[in-house]
Amino acid sequence: MRRWTRSIGYLYVLRCGSRHSESLPTSPMPTTMPVILLTAVDFLLLLACLVALRDIASRRRRIGFPHPPGPRGLPLIGNVFGIPKSRPWLVYAQWAKKYGDIVSTTAMGQNIVILTSLKTARDLFEKRAANYSDRSTLPILKLLEWDWNVPFSRYSDRWRRARKIIERSMRPSAITQYRATQLAKVGAFLKALRSTPQDLREHIGLLQGSIIMSITYGYDVKDYDDKFLKVVDDMVRLGAPLILPGSCLYNDLPILGYLPAWLPGMGFKALAGYCRALGVEARSAPMQLVQEGLKNGTAAPSVTREHLRELEENGEADGAQGLDDIASASASLYPGDPYHRSLLNTALLMLAVCSWSRHRKPSNHLRLLLVHRLNLNGAKTAAVIATFFLVLANFPDVQRKAQAEVDAISRRQRLPDRDDRLNLPYINALIQELLRWHTIIPLGIPHATLKDDIYEGYSIPKGSIVIANAWAILHDPDVYPDPDTYNPERYLTEDGQFKEDLAIAANFGFGKRVCPGRHFADSTLYLIVVSVLSTFSVRKAQDSVQDSSEIRMTDLFTDAPLSRPERFACSITPRDDIALDLISGVSA
């Protein structure tokens, strides 16, 4: 129906265009202006009729089964003005209190379903995975040509093949081979933190990016301004705002795609073109490096090298599909950073658009601006690491208890290792509470349905966007008393044993789309937590000392789909001379 709507709209514009050109044949300017004005008004009417027809058609299909309850909004446009733009997870949690665990709403004919319990999320995403594992069909994604990118990819054979490659490289038995890399990069992180603690953010970004690039391509990221990291960061940072709800009119009016790029308001076309080009570069440049290394025998061990070798052994080295799958899988492992929506960035986005449309490739000047001003490397694991530092600064008691446990196991003669984990209940509780207290992707990545469905007497139409509100699930006061308080003790038994909470998995999504990097993220996080606790003291900056009971969650974290700590001031100093020796002793 959506495709049908778009093609009718297109034909309609063409028809109007020719009608007006016939009446005003002589001058090109007067012919185009009325065409655009009339088309816009007429088109809105036509669109309204089409949305109404679609509603009627889909209602007929589901006669007898209502939509799940929820705010309905206005006729035709639905709840378009009620879709929350700011911290939507909080608003959706309020809706759940009013309407229940399964809420639905619509915006411009798009059905949106929000799940607010583990049961509903598992019932749909896991037990009915074949229907609930698609992704959104936002028109802008086609312009961006990001379908190679596994998290955005539709539920297709291409996604299945790339996902399989990632799963093989990221399953628990495979990730043990990356341990040496993790240890070396964590060692480099400790040394960098000792030298320039004020650059915490940059060090975290570099840590995350360098681990992933090393295991994926065998490529050694030396500094924060690395060219490969930059390409992905720019791509995601500039492109992601286009896919946020309500941020790009083209997603609601795909007909705009047929208007020329020079018209006011059509900047999204140039921006999408720029991000598309960055995507091509992000996918091909590091992969070429590995391919060349394989030819001349210098390729360092890496996930990409192993998959390319395997392809060669199977006699498929020149197979376009095999190479395409490896390129997609590898480039999907470093996800970049979709955060950044400040005014400064908006100005830079405009610059990007102007520059791109004029020259069709970014000018050096623009690239420099992007590199220096939009520089917030790292992504999901990095956001949790930043949260860890925020916790240490704000909750000194937690830091003290965690350090006592780590010191008891290592006797301060070494950094704790993976094998110590079973004997560190407080550390496990601290990590689990980190993931609960602030869910860095509060709404996960939305899934979409492939066909009509009926669930608990409610109708969920084909093409619905289905969101699990992980934040609300992990802040349910009936399950987690005083949910906004950071309290690792909630995960300890009376005799101090660690209690695992299976609901924490909601952080990593569900079903066939569940995060394939979750085991790797967990092992990286553990190493960082124990290494930092062994060597550094983190304190809140003197001028911002505040009672921990006064801390408001919304002041601490950004309002973005990937919600990470706001900038915060803290002091990070080596604990003592023993800590300095430990830092000097680690190999980096």
Q: Given the DSSP bridges, would you call strands 453-455 and 458-460 parallel, antiparallel or unpaired?
A: antiparallel
Q: How far is the CB of 503 from ligand HEM (least distance, A)?
A: 14
Phi, psi for residue 587 in degrees, rounded to 5: -85, 135
Q: How far is CA 208 from CA 197, 228, 336, in A?
A: 17, 13, 10
x/- string (CB under 6 A) for ligand HEM, residues 339-378?
----------------------------------------
Minimum distance from residue 339 beta carbon to ligand HEM (Å): 14
- Smallest gap from Cβ 527 to ligand HEM, in A, equals 13
DSSP annotation string for 324-342: HHHHHHHHTTS--------
Q: Is 132 in the site for ligand HEM (CB under 6 A)?
A: no
- Span from 10-18, 103-111, 379-387, 424-432 in contact with ligand HEM (CB under 6 A): 379-387
Q: Please, which residue, 336 or 461, has the CB nearer to ligand HEM? A: 336
Pair 323, 311: CB distance under 8 Å = yes
For residues 154 and 276, which CB has a smaller minimum distance to ligand HEM in the complex? Answer: 154
CA distance 468 to 241: 21
Pick from 514, 551, 553, 578 the residue near ligand HEM by CB under 6 A. Answer: 514
Asked if 441 interacts with ligand HEM (CB under 6 A), we say yes
Q: Which is nearer to ligand HEM, 336 or 362 (CB)?
A: 336
Query: 541 near 571, Cβ under 8 Å?
Result: yes
Among 269, 475, 513, 540, binds ligand HEM (CB under 6 A): 513
d(CA 317, CA 320): 8
Q: Interaction with ligand HEM in 319-338: which residues (CB under 6 A)?
A: 332-333
Identify the residue among 13, 124, 150, 232 touching ligand HEM (CB under 6 A): 150
Question: What is the rounded CA–CA span in Å between residue 566 and residue 557?
Answer: 5
**Contact flag: residue 384 with ligand HEM (CB under 6 A):** yes
Compute the distance between CA of residue 477 and CA of residue 571 in angstroms, rounded to an integer: 33
Among 107, 138, 165, 166, binds ligand HEM (CB under 6 A): 166
Mark the segment that binds ligand HEM (CB under 6 A) among 101-109, 425-433, 436-444, 453-461: 436-444
Distances in whole angstroms, Cα of residue 20 to Cα of each of 34, 78, 156, 245: 8, 33, 43, 35
Check: CB of residue 454 under 8 Å from CB of residue 101: no
How far, CA to CA in Å, does 148 sit from each of 141, 284, 382? 11, 12, 24
Residues between 197 and 216 that touch ligand HEM (CB under 6 A): 212
Residue 225 beta carbon to ligand HEM: minimum distance, rounded to whole angstroms = 22
Q: Any contact of residue 520 with ligand HEM (CB under 6 A)?
A: yes
With respect to ligand HEM, which residue has the nearer C-beta, 51 or 221?
Answer: 221
508 lies in the binding site for ligand HEM (CB under 6 A): yes
CB of 54 to ligand HEM, least distance (A): 26
* Residue 63 structure tokens: 């006669």
Stretch that binds ligand HEM, among 11-19, 108-116, 437-445, 532-540 (CB under 6 A): 437-445
User: Cα–Cα distances in Å, from 117 out to 96, 457, 474, 505, 535?
Assistant: 9, 17, 9, 13, 40
Q: From CA 389, how far away is CA 377, in angstroms rounded?
A: 17
Stretch near ligand HEM under the rule CB under 6 A, chosen from 347-355, 387-395, 484-492, 508-516: 508-516
Q: Which is nearer to ligand HEM, 55 or 559 (CB)?
A: 559
User: Of 59-67, 68-76, 162-170, 579-587, which part binds ligand HEM (CB under 6 A)?
Assistant: 162-170
Residue with tokens 């129906």: 1
SS3 401: helix
d(CA 484, CA 580): 35
Residue 128, interface with ligand HEM (CB under 6 A)? no
Is residue 151 part of the contact set for ligand HEM (CB under 6 A)?
Answer: yes
445 lines the binding site for ligand HEM (CB under 6 A): yes
Q: Name the one range near ligand HEM by CB under 6 A: 83-91, 347-355, 504-512, 575-583.
A: 504-512
510 binds ligand HEM (CB under 6 A): yes
Q: Are 147 and 141 in contact (CB under 8 A)?
A: yes
Q: Which amino acid is at 84?
A: P
Pull the structure tokens for residue 145: 């040509």
Tell me the number of residues near ligand HEM by CB under 6 A.
27
Integer Cα distance of 315 and 307 in angstroms? 13
Contact flag: residue 108 with ligand HEM (CB under 6 A)? no
Strand partners, 447: 466
**Distance from the first to the final alpha carbon of the chain:** 56
Residues whose CB falls within 8 Å of the CB of residue 21, separated by 6 or more in sequence, listed in order: 31, 35
- Between 203 and 436, CB nearer to ligand HEM: 436
Residues that bind ligand HEM (CB under 6 A): 150-151, 163, 166, 170, 212, 332-333, 380-381, 384, 440-441, 444-445, 447, 507-510, 513-517, 520-521
